[in-house]
Amino acid sequence: MKKVVSGTIKGVFLVFICLLAVLFLSTKASGGEPTLFQHQIKVVVSGSMEPEIQTGSIILNKLIEPDTTYKKGDIITFHSEDKLVTHRIVDVKEVKGESIFQTKGDNNNAPDAHYVSKGDITGKYTGFTIPKLGYIANYVTSEMGFALLLFIPGLLMVLSTARSIIVATKEMEAKQA
């Protein structure tokens, strides 16, 4: 029983590592953001949205569609200068027939200085968060982490194969003796 549980945990871990490798390799190759089933995967790097979203969390944003509507209270990710920001909409105004949004981090004292236009929004928070996993994702996208992400699955496969060969050899020797 212990062997089955151990094998299952190792298998799940290996599959998880391989999926991360594929996701981040495809993202690096395309030069875009990690996307899975019409959802963006984002890493939260500041505490501006705490306690709702903790620093170091991974969040899932629904990719925007032309008919997506936004209202006060929605959490959105948008371009602000040269970075992506995830904040809550605290006010909506109409300017020349177009909605613009004032945003604020839940943990910030004041609203953001600039309103956000619909064209700057990249996604709408789905409410799905995995705390602390963002720290791992950030490491994986670093040069050292990226190299390890490629190296570890290969090493695990080589070690597993070597172990299987050793076990098979011992079993054959035991049968012959």
pLDDT in tens, 79-110: 888 888 899 999 999 888 888 899 999 999 99
Helix axes 133-140, 143-176, angle to 10 degrees: 90
Mean pLDDT of 41-65: 84
Does 45 have pLDDT greater than 80? yes
130 - beta bridge partners?
Answer: 58
Taking a C-beta distance cutoff of 8 angstroms, is the pair 80, 121 a contact?
no
Q: What is the CA radius of gyration of the chain?
A: 23
Q: Which DSSP symbol is given to 131?
A: T
Q: Under DSSP, is residue 111 helix (H, G, I), strand (E, B) or coil?
A: coil
Average pLDDT over the chain reads: 81
pLDDT grade, residue 52 (50/70/90)?
Answer: confident
Domain boundaries, the chain: 1-32+133-165, 34-131
> 34-131 in CATH: which number?
2.10.109.10
- Active-site annotation, residues: 46
Supply the pTM of this predicted model: 0.65
Q: Which positions ≥6 away from 84 have C-beta within 8 Å?
A: 42, 77, 78, 122
Q: Which positions ≥6 away from 47 have C-beta within 8 Å?
A: 54, 55, 107
For 153, phi then psi, to 5°, come to -60, -40
